[in-house]
Structure formats: C-alpha cells, structure tokens
Amino acid sequence: MCGIFAYTGAQGKDAGKVLLDGLLSLEYRGYDSAGIFTPESGSIKSPGAVAELRKKIPTGFGGKSGIAHLRWATHGEPNEKNAHPHQDCTGELWIVHNGIIENFKELKEKLAHAGHRFASDSDTEVLAHLVEEHLKKEKNFEKAALAALNDLRGTYGIALQYKGEPDKLIAARMGSPIVIGLGDGEHFIASDPSPILPHTKKVVFLEDGEVAVLTPHKHSIYKLNAEKVDRTPTEIDWSPEEAQKGGYEHFMLKEIMEGPEVVENTLRGRVIAEKGMVKLGGLEAVAKELASIERVIIVGCGTAYYAGLVGEYMLEEFAGIPVEVELASEFRYRAPVLNQKTALIAISQSGETLDTLEAIREGKRKGALTLGIVNAVGSTIARETDAGVYNHAGPEVSVASTKALVSQLTALALFTVFLGRQRAMSEETGKEITAELKKLPAKLKAILGRTADIEVLAKKYASSRDFLFIGRKYNYPVALEGAIKLKEISYVHAEGYSAGEMKHGPIAMIDEHFPTFALAPHDSVYEKVVSNIHELKARKGPVVALVTEGDTRVAELADDVIAVPKTLEMLSPILNVVPLQLFAYYFAKEKGLNVDRPRNLAKSVTVE
Ligand code: G6P
C-alpha cells in the first residue's frame, strides 16, 4: 500500500533530504512511483523507486517543510501523471493520500461543473480541488480541510499542505494508518513509524475519523466534527526494521494479523448487499462475454492454486458453471482444450509467477477469455489478461503467502456472486452470501484474538516430525494449505489429504507419534469428518481439530481443539485458513527458523 511521509521543522534540517531518506524506509510497502513537494522548491515526481526520484532532484532542492509519497497504484496507471503529490487548480494546495475515495466520481463531476480542471485520473487529486473549493468559502486552511474531509466516503490516510501557511501540515485518517511523530521543534506524518524513528521515538497513532494539525512547535488533534482530542503520546523503541513489521517479530505474523483489514479492502465498494449483487469494475468490459461463458479453468501455483480449488467448489455450487482447476506448470505443457466459451482465470499474488503467466499466454493463443485475480497492480499477469479483479491486499513481504490467500478467497466469493447472478443464483442467495461476506472481518478479529491459544498448541506439537492435515469439501483445499504452510516454513514433513482418501493410504502411517490436524467445522460433511477422527483415535493418533464455536462432540474426541465462528460453508475457508497459518507460524518460530525467508524458496518464482 502507498507510503506517506511529511515533515515540518524549525531546526534548520533540509526537508528535501529528510523526506527522501524517509521514503527509502517506506519502500518495503511496495511502490510504482514516488513524489515530493516542498513549498520552497515545488514538486518532483518519478515512476519507479525512490532512487529514480532522487536522480531527478536538482541541487538546491529543499525547504523547511514538505510532503512525500510512494504510490502503489489503485486508481489510474502507475505513471508520472498519477504519482503523488497532487495539487489543486492554483498550485497552492498539495496532497498525498493512501486509500480509496469511493465517492470520487460524484465529487469530480461536481467540481468539474464548478470549473475545476483535473490533471490526472487519480481519486486523490479530487481531494486537493475539494479543499480548494472549501477554501474559497472558509478562507481558513484548517476549516477548509475539515469541511472537505466531511464530504468524503472511503478510506484515507492523508497529508495536506498549503503554500499560504507553509510550515503547517494537516493529517487525517480513515481506514489507512497515520502516525504523527513529535520531535523537538519538528513534527512528522507517516504511514508507519519507520521513517520517523531516526528523528524521534515519541509518536501518536491517529484513530479513524481524526485530523491532526501540525506546525514545528505545536500539534493538535481533532475529530471530524472539530471536537478537540487529548491523546497521550506513545514512546516506541522499535528498531526501524521492527517498525516496518508494525512491531511484530515477523512480516508473516503482521500479514496474518492484517486479515480483517484485507477482507474489508477486497470487498470495499464491490458489494451491493440490498440487491444481493456485486460490482466488479475490472470485469465490466467483459461482463457480456462472461454471461455466455460455458466453462471456467483456474490456474495458479502453490497457495494460489489452493485458492482456485476452493473457487471451483464455490463456482460450481453457486454459479452452476463447470470449473476445472489446474497447476499452471502442468497446464502449459499439455494440450488443454479451450475455446471462446472458456474463461481462463489466473490467480497470483505477485502477478509475475512465470508458469501462471505462460498458462495465460497459452490460453490467449487458443482464444479463451483470460482473467486475473491479482494483488500486484500493474504486474505482468494483470497487464496481459483481458480483465480481472484486484485483491487490494497490500504488499505481502513474507515468502509464505497468508493475507493474499484470504483476499483471493474473498475475491473468488465475489466472482461467484457476480457469475451466479448472471445465471440462476436467486436474489435471496446473493443477499445471504454478500451479507455474510461483510461479517467476515469481525469474525476474523475474533479468531486473531485467540492467537495466544494457537501459540501454546503449536509449541506443544513443535517436536513432531510429521503432520497430516485432513478436510473435506470446501475444507479439503484448506487442509492442503495447512500442510504446505507447515512444510515451507518449518521444514517438517506434512501432507494435506482429503479426509475421505485417508483410508486409502495415509492412515497406515498413523501411530501415537504422527499427529493429524483435522478440519471439522459444522458443515454438510461434519459427520463424515467426525468418523475420520474416530478412525485416527482408534490408531492412537494425536488429533488437533478445528471446530465451529459451541461444538462439544469433537472436543470430547480430539486431543486439542481450536474453535472458529460459524459462517456459510462456502466462506468457511476464509476463516479456517487463518488458525492454520498461525499454527505454522508459531511451530516454525518455536524451531528457531527464519520464518519470513524460508530456505530454498522465493516470494515470486519467475523461472520455470
Ligand atoms: C511461491 C510462494 C508461494 C506462492 C506461489 C505463487 O511459491 O512462495 O507463497 O503461493 O509462489 O505465487 P503467486 O505470486 O503467483 O501467487
């Protein structure tokens, strides 16, 4: 996600240097372009990394204050025109923004009508013009900013600067993180504490709906209704690296913890709950072709492939369309039969996995409609597919995919409602699924609140040399995912199996030293999984079971249980993968392994 950094100081430091150094420590968040503004020297923007921006900065560029940004594209191409900071018509007001303004189209129309001219496609620019419009009436920067913020719908972390009061900065937060750094005669605004920490350890984390007004010697915090807020600053003694991890020991844990936010971001602006429909902007151009598609093939690698397996069950059950899921590395080497009535969907976090990309190229050659469920905006798969759905999960740093999977499954559920409602899915079913999707962030928070219990469990089993993961129907791919997670970060032999297949092989391995993780939520195959747990216990196999809250039968049978909130069966993988991710994380941590960078693996596999 985008990174924001802003500075105002009376210490004689060069704002240009402070800002560029700060941007470098935010680069881990992902970027496609960077930009900087100071009232004294104006603005410079560049596609690419901070190093590219630095090359364009002339000697003498600087000032006492300024704002800077690293962009990770959502609205508009990743180019110089769409890079931040954005300005109003007069060039007096400048803004950097992280988030998505949902009502930017209406606001843009109104402002265009009032005579404003726009230079970019970005939703952020609209905000600069909106403040300009209010400034005409209010004649006061703070009041104008507050009035503009009250007009917005969506998410934002913002830093705003006005040439008329060059040492003043305004920050605001709604959904996207903003931290204020309190120095001696200097203040900072950032997306996370990492660029602030070299200057001061005293920070204030803004809450949603709060606005901060900063000058070098003063900081005030308000609510959106202008009511003053008193907040005691926090002292943080994180190293810059810890700061990038949000205070967590590893990126993997931070990314698992982001689950609720990730689901919200994937759903944002896409659910029309009252009609039981979804709106997927990236599919609009091909909506007609999709309505006449007769078959879907999903391709992916690793965790993305498992997401596809869940997608198959969702799409066949609720959209009534035949689906096949195939490992991208297999698909491209055989002779798949495709035609114009086939939609070939690539699922990929990075959008760069070579096998998945080549599968898409093969599909294109054979005339299929190609689609992407991709997290990295502007990546090769996103560019080469005919249309697609972006995950909006934010950058994933840890090699083992966690939050990307949660967002892929959420996007697949949205896609299912989209295709389903084009076909036989009733409004009633559409409403039921979309209403439940909206409840998932709160349910994920409840699971994450039980992290300490999962840590205890993982430690208990961390000396095991083998692990079997079993599940049925929607939770069969979840079992596969549980096994791959454990394998890749703890180097322990783990197998994911369909619970029904257990009797056809793996049960021969079971004894008191071979534990099984059984997915036994209260769904249509519950009784069958309970029988499988009986079979394991009859062979003295230790069993950890994932159950639905309130379940007592499995608790009596299994050695340990993890309870998760009830949800629709088709959506249960979105919740159930999270305890498995946490289990693998603490298991590997207990073994003292490098969780974020497991040996022999790469985040993005761009070789065959
Ligand atoms: C690598 C990663 C996995 C990931 C897979 C697919 O193997 O280690 O975590 O699931 O690639 O990556 P993609 O970027 O295409 O989702």
What's 93's domain CATH number?
3.60.20.10
Structure-derived torsion over alpha carbons of residues 231, 205, 175, 89, reported in degrees to the nearest 10: 90
Residues 131 and 162 in one domain: yes
Q: Which domain holds residue 288?
A: 254-447
Predicted local distance difference test score (pLDDT) of residue 75: 65
Task: State which of 413, 447, 481 marks the end of a domain.
Answer: 447
Residue 63, phi-psi category: left (phi > 0), alpha (psi -120 to 50), beta (remainder): left
The CA dihedral of 80, 83, 89, 95, to the nearest 10 degrees, is -160
Same domain membership, residue 503 and residue 401: no
301 is a catalytic site residue: no
Closest-CA residue, ligand 1 atom 7, reads: 302
395 and 520 housed in the same domain:
no
Nearest-atom index, ligand 1, CA of 408: 16
Q: Choosing from 2, 64, 108, 443, which is the catalytic residue?
A: 2
The Cβ of residue 536 has, within 10 Å, a number of other Cβ atoms equal to 25
Would you say residue 1 has pLDDT above 70?
no
Measured distance CA(330)–CA(164) in Å, rounded: 61
Q: Which position has the higher pLDDT, 603 or 247?
A: 247
Best CA proximity match to 406, nearest among 430, 382, 437: 437
Shared domain check, 573 and 508: yes
Is 603 assigned a catalytic role?
yes
| Mean pLDDT, residues 342-351 | 95
384 & 366 share domain: yes
* Nearest ligand 1 atom, CA 350: 14
Q: How many domains does the chain have?
A: 3
**DSSP-assigned letter for residue 405:** H
> Domain check: are 349 and 217 in the same one?
no
Residue 437 alpha carbon to ligand 1 centre in Å: 25
Can you tell me the mean pLDDT for 440-461? 98
Checking if the pLDDT of 30 tops 90, the result is: no
Q: Tell which one of 412, 603, 608 to mutate to probe ligand 1, the residue whose CB is within 8 A of the most ligand atoms.
A: 603
Nearest atom, ligand 1, residue 356 CA? 15
Give the Å distance between the CA of 235 and the centre of ligand 1: 37
Share of the chain above pLDDT 70, in %: 98
Pocket test for ligand 1, best of 306, 332, 345, 349 (most atoms within 8 A of CB): 349
pLDDT score recorded for residue 607:
65
Choosing from 353, 396, 595, 608 the residue with most ligand 1 atoms within 8 A of its CB, the one to mutate for a pocket test is 353
E strand intervals along 349-441: 369-374, 387-390
Residue pair 66/19 in contact (Cβ under 8 Å)? The answer is yes
390/316 same-domain check = yes
Calpha distance 497→480 (Å, rounded): 6
Q: Same domain for 158 and 48? A: yes
The last residue of one of the domains, among 414, 447, 480, is 447
Element (H, E) at 98: strand 93-98
563 and 477 in a single domain? The answer is yes
pTM above 0.85, yes or no: no
Question: CA 351 → CA 31, 385, 577, distances in Å?
Answer: 15, 10, 22
User: Both 92 and 178 in a single domain?
Assistant: yes
The mean pLDDT of 432-444, rounded to a whole number, is 98
Average pLDDT over the chain, rounded to an integer: 94
Q: Please report whether residue 606 resides in a domain.
A: no
Q: Does residue 363 sit in the same domain as residue 405? A: yes
As for ligand 1, residues whose beta carbon falls within 6 Å of it are: 301-304, 348-350, 353, 356, 399-401, 601, 603-605
Spatial contact of 128 and 94, defined as CB atoms under 8 Å apart: yes
Ligand 1 mean position, distance from CA 301 (Å): 6
